[in-house]
């Protein structure tokens, strides 16, 4: 099953234009993370780590050329394309604790 994790209508439209269709959820909770799924969106590292640990896949939506003027507002699929929108698969996350100075 495919889960599209976003609250942005433009991102949903952009993904559907690219032939990604799935259940749209605005907030992913740990109980929704099951083996064999594909999750697409922008998520915190601990959730991505859990997704990968279950044997599921995660595609991160990135827009490397988004301008400051377009941040924090709804974008159209055309604006997302202009901002270089693409999906990159996160295949591994390695997390290690950091020792804090006293």
Instruction: Kindly report, residue by residue over 8-31, the tens digit of the pLDDT.
Output: 999 999 999 999 999 999 999 889
Query: Residue 102 above 90 pLDDT?
Result: no
**Predicted confidence band of residue 70 (pLDDT cuts 50, 70, 90):** confident
Q: Residue 71 has what pLDDT?
A: 77
| Per-domain boundaries in the chain | 2-90
Read off the pLDDT of residues 82-96 as tens digits, 9 standing for 90 and up: 999 999 999 999 888
8 A C-beta contact, residue 75 and residue 10: yes
Cα R_g (the chain), whole angstroms:
15
The rounded distance, in Å, linking the Cα atoms of 72 and 70 is: 7
Across the range 47-65, mean pLDDT stands at 95
């Amino acid at each position: 099953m495919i889960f599209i994790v976003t609250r942005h209508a433009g991102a949903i439209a952009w993904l559907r234009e690219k032939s990604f269709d799935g259940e749209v959820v605005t907030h992913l909770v740990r109980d929704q993370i099951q083996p064999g799924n594909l999750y697409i969106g922008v998520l915190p590292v601990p959730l991505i780590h859990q997704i990968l640990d279950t044997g599921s896949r995660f595609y991160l939506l990135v827009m490397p050329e988004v301008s400051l003027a377009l941040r924090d507002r709804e974008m159209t699929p055309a604006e997302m394309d202009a901002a270089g929108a693409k999906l990159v698969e996160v295949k591994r996350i390695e997390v290690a604790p950091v020792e804090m100075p006293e």
